[in-house]
Amino acid sequence: MTKAGARFPDNFIWGAATAAYQVEGAWAEDGKGESIWDRFAHTPGKIRNGDSGDAASDHYHHWQEDIALMKSIGLKSYRLSLAWSRILPNGRGKVNQAGLDFYNRLIDGLLEAGIQPMVTLFHWDLPQALQDEGGFAARSTAEAFVEYADVATRHLGDRVTRWITHNEPSVFAFVGHSFGQHAPGLKDPYTALRVAHHLLLSHGWSVPVIRANSPAAEVGIAINVNFNQPASPSTYDYHVWQYEFGMWSRWFLDPLYGRQYPPDLVAYAINNHSLPADGLDFVQAGDLQIVAAPTDFLGLNYYTRQLARDQSLPPDQNLPPTVFQAPKNDHDWQEMEDWEVYPDGLFNVLTWLNFEYQPAALYVTENGASWSDGPDETGRVKDARRINFLQRHFEAALRAIQIGVPLKGYYVWSLMDNLEWGHGFSQRFGLIWVDFITKQRILKDSALWYKGVISQNAIPEMPIDP
């Protein structure tokens, strides 16, 4: 158990993260092209309450105020993503200078404020023009990604400290192409696996391009790994866990770290008809060497624990009971349905990644919680649950560092309240509260507490209970 007051390593990077579609707004301004999320959100019934990212948190017009707020918190780094269709409205070809100018101003503003930019190239908002040609299910979109990565890093690479090629490729592939809950809204498991491969391929192809254009920067990818366990000691639940957790983690990490696609999972996918009988027909000779391009860091997005239960068994099967979970109170569970607060899982995942893949360095590129506390009558946002959540997760991260995990930084999700994809504005993850009508911003108590963490480079001495 780490003690409050224990210090993080010198030069530890404390940050906060956002993504373009979730915060920028200005969806059709200054020459920006349509993205698949614009199309999805404008399709009735896709996003809760008919919300959309058309205006989102209006960061596009409030970026100076937002940088001033970041500076007041003392952030060392800000993780943002670029909207591909702001830079290349058709996905490839003609460059939209006005789009690049926005990011030039933003990055210059960050540097003036002493904040290092960490930039994600792809956080799910694919140009619709590329989706019309098949999206990431088509190999040609992986080629277009390399063109985009080249344009972006040629123009911004002299000032960006860290590049992330893709954010959570598994969520983009599966939730968008197999479950239909994210753009582009497809429901085809085979397409999802094609998409996953082309994401990985485009990552590998772009790494040397980014390095050439931005030689001083670090390059990596951000994957989402929650802590997964079989729901009980039964073999049935174990098998479900092996497949489900494997598809969300090993399916991506094994090829990234120089292994093949995991043979047990390939067999599984053939068996359940996600793949044809001849297996990975979309993988061409040499692809896996490209995917395994060495990177400088692995980004981890961690949120919760998930339990794998074999739902196909008849109820009389008498499975052992589910492993212990916290009682369903609003302190131990986020407002996102089924997101348990589970800080030990962060320690477990960090140590597993380090042991299993030995990345050169790790960053927590996202961790945070959704609770909707708003301003009280004095205008103060008392989000004590978020403080408690962050404190316990920072402690878990510090424990991992203390046993040798090369964790170099931590980005809280999110800098500000924003559009939570299909959940619309109903879920608030921000350190900064945003009024989605007036666009007024207020630092939540958690932002002020985080300022103390950053200035002391340590978890402050304070009661852990909110």
- Closer Cβ to ligand IFM, 22 or 57, answer by number: 22
What is residue 269's three-state secondary structure?
A: helix
- Closer Cβ to ligand IFM, 340 or 366, answer by number: 366
Kindly state whether residue 175 participates in binding ligand IFM, applying the rule CB under 6 A: no
- Closer Cβ to ligand IFM, 8 or 252, answer by number: 252
- Would you call 168 a catalytic residue per the annotation? yes
- Closer Cβ to ligand IFM, 22 or 249, answer by number: 22
Rounded distance, CA 459 to CA 53, Å? 35
Please pick, from the candidates 420, 422, 432, 446, the single residue that binds ligand IFM as defined by CB under 6 A.
420
Among 7, 10, 158, smallest CA distance to 76 is for 10
Residues 6+ apart with CB under 8 A from 187: 177, 178, 179, 180
Check 24, 34, 168, 395 and give the catalytic one: 168
DSSP codes joined into one string, 93-156: SS--HHHHHHHHHHHHHHHHTT-EEEEEEESS--BHHHHTTTGGGSHHHHHHHHHHHHHHHHHH
Please pick, from the candidates 12, 13, 15, 19, the single residue that binds ligand IFM as defined by CB under 6 A.
19
Rounded distance, CA 190 to CA 265, Å? 14
Residues 389-418 that bind ligand IFM (CB under 6 A): 413
**Residues binding ligand IFM: number (CB under 6 A):** 7
What mask, x for binding ligand IFM by CB under 6 A, covers residues 338 to 367? ----------------------------x-
Kindly state whether residue 226 participates in binding ligand IFM, applying the rule CB under 6 A: no
Kindly state whether residue 13 participates in binding ligand IFM, applying the rule CB under 6 A: no
- Would you call 461 a catalytic residue per the annotation? no
Residues 286-345 that bind ligand IFM (CB under 6 A): 301
Among 298, 412, 368, smallest CA distance to 13 is for 412
The backbone torsions φ and ψ at residue 222, rounded to the nearest 5 degrees and listed phi first, read -110, 120
State the DSSP H helix or E strand holding residue 19, giving kind and residue range, or none if neither: none
Kindly state whether residue 168 participates in binding ligand IFM, applying the rule CB under 6 A: yes
Q: How far is CA 211 from CA 103, 150, 436, 445, in A?
A: 19, 10, 38, 39
Among 36, 49, 56, smallest CA distance to 125 is for 36
Check 24, 34, 218, 366 and give the catalytic one: 366
State the DSSP H helix or E strand holding residue 218, giving kind and residue range, or none if neither: strand 218-224
Output the smallest distance, CB 366 to ligand IFM, in A: 5
Kindly state whether residue 51 participates in binding ligand IFM, applying the rule CB under 6 A: no
Q: What residues are labeled active site?
A: 168, 366
Residues in touch with ligand IFM (CB under 6 A):
19, 22, 168, 301, 366, 413, 420
